[in-house]
Amino acid sequence: MNTDSLTLGFIGYGNMAQAMAQGLVDAGVLPGGRIVACAAHYDRLVERTAQLGVRPMHSGTEVAAAADLVILAVKPEQVAQVCEPIRHELADPDRMVLSVVGGMTLEDYADLLEEGTHLICAIPNTPISVGQGVLVTQEDDTLTDQQRELFTQVFDPVAMIERLPRELVSVGTTIAGCAPAYTAMYMEALADAGVEHGLPRQAAYRLAARMVEGTGALYLATGTNPGAMKDAVCSPGGTTIKGVASLEKHGFRGAVIEAIDAVERGD
Q: Which residues contact 97 (CB under 8 A, 6 or more apart)?
A: 69, 70, 71, 72, 90, 113, 117, 118, 119, 120
Q: What's the maximum distance between 2 C-alpha atoms anywhere in the chain?
A: 68
**15 annotated ligand-binding residue:** yes
**16 annotated ligand-binding residue:** yes
**40 annotated ligand-binding residue:** no
**12 annotated ligand-binding residue:** yes
**125 annotated ligand-binding residue:** no
**Torsion-angle region of 225 (φ positive above 0: left; ψ -120 to 50: alpha; else: beta):** beta
**73 annotated ligand-binding residue:** yes
**74 annotated ligand-binding residue:** yes
**75 annotated ligand-binding residue:** yes
Q: Are 68 and 8 in contact (CB under 8 A)?
A: yes
Pairing of strands 118-124, 55-57: unpaired
What DSSP character marks residue 106?
G
Q: Which residues are annotated as a binding site for NADP(+)?
A: 11-16, 73-76
Q: Which residues are annotated as a binding site?
A: 11-16, 73-76
